[in-house]
Amino acid sequence: MSNTLKDAEQPCDCTDSCGAIKRILLAKDKDLGGFSVRRLLPTAQQKMVGPWIFFDHMGPANFPAGEGINVRPHPHIGIATVTYLFEGEILHRDSLGSLQPIQPGDINLMVAGKGIVHSERERYEVTATDHLLHGLQLWLALPLADEECEPAFYHYPDDTIPSLHIDGVPVRVLMGTAFGVTSPVQTFAETLYVEADLQPGQRFTLPMAEERAIYIAKGHVTAKDSDLPEHSMAIVSQQEGITIEAKVPSRIAIIGGENVGTRFIEWNFVSSRKARIEQAKTDWRNHDFPLVPGDETEFIPLPD
């Protein structure tokens, strides 16, 4: 999805010496014409968590018949996008010729590398009736060796993603390795992405990573002395054995992985070099990116 929102955050009162939580980020809802999106990354104080450079929570949005997601073709470089839905469906098209409906539980991984264009819309069968859309969209900054790789597209259906129970808590290992299982989803650096659903009173110990954060997509949890409300993201220290407890039914996402170094981000372009972003901007203005088969006539202009 196009990077058009400003970020919001609220630093935690503690510092690393507190132990578990380094800071807490709070996103403000942005109404995109009946469609609410919350941005948690990047912020002024927290540019990345491991390789993750962008984190959006979209919806839940209720669309009447005839309306829905309609994101025109737009470009990316230097990243891999990850789309994960809780409810609803998005129709993905890209300049490689990919045409893929994304449904709840699937992982859609689009590797931009040296450049790709994609659109996000909905099938007529979906928009013909009232419908709901709810999910997460994230970007992974590619390591230096892969920043200019050939673009690629991977789709992983729901039933290919490992699921298990940890102390009674349902867990999905969406990307990377945790709790002794490894996701089949392609990674480029050490990457962690885990989902857990907790009932009130259930406790859950976070998997380790060089850098990590937890996002409360639904509910309310605590971590030691820190209170983590719905739609907050907590940047977590490297302390081992950090455990959260759910106060109400809660769905959380855990992201993290290795630090891949400094990245610059402007609009939908990410790179370790500012000059590369300027080149991408010029290429988009000049219509030098490839077209999206089946969606060739519209595009999102470069913002002023």
Query: What is the biggest distance separating any 2 CA atoms in the chain, rounded to whole angstroms?
Result: 56
Residue 237 has pLDDT above 50, yes or no: yes
**pLDDT value of residue 18:** 53
Condensed to tens digits (0 to 9), the pLDDT of residues 238-266 reads: 999 999 999 999 999 999 999 999 999 99
Amino acid 299 reads F
For residue 126, name the pLDDT band (cuts at 50, 70, 90). Answer: very high
Alpha-carbon distances of 105 from 4, 121, 170, rounded to whole Å? 26, 18, 14
What 3 state SS string does 180-240 have? CEECCCCCCCCEEEEEEEECCCCEEECCCCCEEEEEEEECCEEECCEEECCCEEEEECCCC
Residue 275: Cβ-neighbour burial (10 angstroms; 0-12, 13-18, 19+): exposed
Q: Tokens for 104, please give them.
A: 């709840």
Assess contact for 270 and 53: CB atoms under 8 A.
yes
Residue 11 has pLDDT above 90, yes or no: no
Residue 175 has pLDDT above 90, yes or no: yes
**pLDDT value of residue 10:** 43
Distance, CA of 38 to CA of 5 (rounded, Å) = 9
* Full-model pTM: 0.93
Mean pLDDT within 119-130 = 95
Assess contact for 142 and 50: CB atoms under 8 A.
no
Assess contact for 35 and 59: CB atoms under 8 A.
yes
